[in-house]
Structure 1
Amino acid sequence: MNRILTDEQLVIELSEGNKFAFGEIYDRYWYKLFCIAYHQIGTKEEAEELVHDLFESLWNRREQSNIRHLSSYLVISMKNLITNFIKSQITWRKYKEYIILQKMQENALTENTAEFTDLSQALDNALKKLPEKTSKIFQLSRFENQSVKEIAKELNLSEKAVEYHITKSLKVLKDHLWIYHTQN
């Protein structure tokens, strides 16, 4: 075949399995498709791989393809491959970021759990050092979120007495738990 074939003729020859026609399409469009891919992707190797994938797909689907305008078909196919490639890269990057974040959270959770356990035990020990009534008032105030008025009513005490016990418990706890405050 020494004559120059049109794109339409090449498509017909390609659909019949003509390797020369495929080679001619490759020679005509490889550089154009490579430039499109390289401009969008930015790396030579990945751009070459996308062009290779496009031509491999063209050959494998040569009998089923209904190509009317070869140049437009190839450019649109390349843009679709580029879009899919970029999406896969974004998805892969997001997945890697997710895994890294998960590991960081697991490490922080383990560390925070240990710190919380230590602090919780220290708080329990400090509460045991308080008089029973003071400890009870503190727990109602801080753990059950009851107001001074509610605690006074429940325990049959004046509001001033409840405030006194809360202040006293906070002072004792501050003295016993100061080490946890300075670590953070």
Structure 2
Amino acid sequence: MLNDKLILKEIRKGNSSVFESVFHEQYDSLVKFANHFLLDYKAAEDVVQGTFIYLWENSSSIQIKSSVKAYLYQSVKNSSLNQLRALKIKDKYELQYLEAILETADDKWIDDEELIESIKQALLKLPKQMYLIFCKKYFEEQSIKEIANEMSLSENTIKVQLHKGRNSIRQILEMATSFIFLF
């Protein structure tokens, strides 16, 4: 604990050699840690580098209660989880784009008939129950609870089916077209 207080004190003073020492000592293990969450080595490196930048730039206001190492791991974990939340938001927008393509017949809005046809074909390749759940959720805009009640299934089953449906559509589209969905 005393060593951590000295490290933080030196970083607050702007001692770059102490900061670099902590960076080199912790970097690889923090990247591996972040990669367990993100499953993307480059993104993990970005998260860790961002954590160290934040530490350097905000060292005067950071309160470390346990150790610098524990602080870094917690910061990397939080940043990784925030990045995953951001990806879910991105995925939601891509799914809305997919829905918009499927619902529109306006050639002026989208002129890729091959893409529209590929999406329709991908939906038709889903297992019957998955297709029904997918349509109820995204075209009839029913809630998971409503679908579960209507189909006499658990809400968890509906969630799993929706997740598998999105993955199946993505895989079918990746094979059928050069258009890649990341949802």
TM-score, normalization by structure 1: 0.53
Partner Cα separation in structure 2 for residue 36 and residue 8 of structure 1: 24
Partner Cα separation in structure 1 for residue 84 and residue 60 of structure 2: 29
* Residues 30-179 of structure 1 aligned to structure 2 (within 5 Å): 30-68=27-65, 69-107=67-105
Rg comparison, structure with higher value = 1
Aligned identity (percent) is: 23
Show structure 1 runs of 4+ deviating over 2 A. 5-8
Structure 2 match to 1:122: none
TM-score, normalization by structure 2: 0.54
Partner Cα separation in structure 2 for residue 64 and residue 33 of structure 1: 22
Structure 2 match to 1:8: 5
**Displacement of 1:28:** 1.6
Q: For 1:7-36, what per-residue CA distance to the aligned partner results, in whole angstroms no more than 9, with x for missing partners? A: 321111001111111101101211121111
What secondary structure is seen at the aligned counterpart in 2 of 1:65? coil
Q: For 1:62-103, what per-residue CA distance to the aligned partner results, in whole angstroms no more than 9, with x for missing partners? A: 111122321111111111001100000111011111112112
Q: Does 1:22 align with 2:13?
A: no
Cα RMSD for the two superposed structures: 2.1
**Displacement of 1:44:** 1.2
Partner Cα separation in structure 2 for residue 29 and residue 39 of structure 1: 16
In the alignment of these two chains, the number of paired residues is 106
Relative to its length, the structure with more helix (as a share) is 1
